[in-house]
Amino acid sequence: MGEGTGTERPKATVLQRVSSVLDADAHDVTELDGGEVGSVYHVSFHDRPDVAVKVDDSPLGIEAAMLQYLTRTTSLPVPEVLHVEPNLLVLSFIRGDGRFSERAERDLARHVASLHDISADAFGFQFDTLSGPFRQPNPWTDSWVDFFREQRVLPFARAARNDGTLPAAEFDRVQQLADTLDARLVEPASPSLLHGDIHPGNTVVADGTVRAVLDPAIYFGHAEVDLAYVDRLDSIGAAFYDEYRRHRDISAEYFEKRRDVYVAFHALENVRFFGDDRLPRLDSALDRLGL
């Protein structure tokens, strides 16, 4: 008999490794859509609940630390960390039905508002976190505008330029955005704990209820960052904002003046993640900002 396909060999390795680290009999593995970080598998057992497994060379320990922080300090539902080592992360498997209804929108809004109520004395975080596979520097900073410019916009723009995904013309436009942030953004009353990459694709729902939120990129920042990220897919509508406003205010100036700043940054992240085919969205946001 042959040695099997390239796809079968990694799956067999995952079965063996997970069986060993959990001391359980894993019998089936299915590869899932894994986003930007590594390969993700659903593993089933004869004698214990299913798990989700990430395999990658990126620092999965940081993702585990973010999930553990959210478990300890918030009510946000996230997968339980069952095992972590340098290139293996084993999480509880959360099953959903994939139907992101108006009821689910409202439930997500309540969770996001509750997360945003958690504050800190400054902007940043107690350790550097991740955005997809890339490090997010989080030095404690007193000014939100300074933090967003110096730890988010400029580092990502320079990295994308150096990677060859951000052309010089777009880099110059992003530099202009960074130079004008003092006039475009406002300081919040207090820092909010952000998920950092919140959207329906990172949300597991079943029966109109949020069962888990995945792939955090946490830090303390302006709540408007998460609002702009939520808004980037058509599956989120008025119900989310209506419910969020029952718990926290949203300034009208956010929609009129500031949303596109955060949309532009998210588009910049996508250019770095996925390449220059994501440039049109960045260009459109910069156009709307008059840059």
Each residue's pLDDT tens digit, 86-101: 889 999 999 999 888 9
50 lies in the same domain as 154: no
209 lies in the same domain as 88: no
Q: What is the pLDDT of residue 86?
A: 84
Q: Which of 35-39, 102-106, 121-125, 180-184 has the lowest mean pLDDT?
A: 35-39
In the predicted model, is pLDDT for residue 114 greater than 90? yes
The residue from 74, 92, 110 where one domain ends is 92
125 lies in the same domain as 169: yes
Handedness of CA 77, 245, 229, 126 (dihedral sign): negative
Report the domain count for the chain: 2
Angle between helices 102-116 and 223-230 (to 10 degrees): 160
111 lies in the same domain as 40: no
140 lies in the same domain as 20: no
Dihedral, 25, 27, 32, 36 alpha carbons, nearest 10: 40
74 lies in the same domain as 155: no
Domain annotation covers residue 154: yes
81 lies in the same domain as 176: no
- pTM for the model stands at 0.93
Domain that holds residue 127: 102-289
The residue from 58, 92, 126 where one domain ends is 92
Q: What is the pLDDT of residue 37?
A: 61
77 lies in the same domain as 176: no
In the predicted model, is pLDDT for residue 51 greater than 70? yes
**What is the Cβ-side half-sphere exposure of residue 64, based on CA atoms within 13 angstroms?**
20
Q: What is the pLDDT of residue 17?
A: 92
166 lies in the same domain as 57: no
Domain annotation covers residue 97: no
Domain annotation covers residue 44: yes
Residue 9 burial (C-beta neighbours within 10 Å; 0-12, 13-18, 19+): exposed
Q: What is the pLDDT of residue 2?
A: 38
Q: What is the CATH number of the domain that holds 50?
A: 3.30.200.20
Q: What is the CATH number of the domain that holds 243?
A: 3.90.1200.10
In the predicted model, is pLDDT for residue 3 greater than 50? no
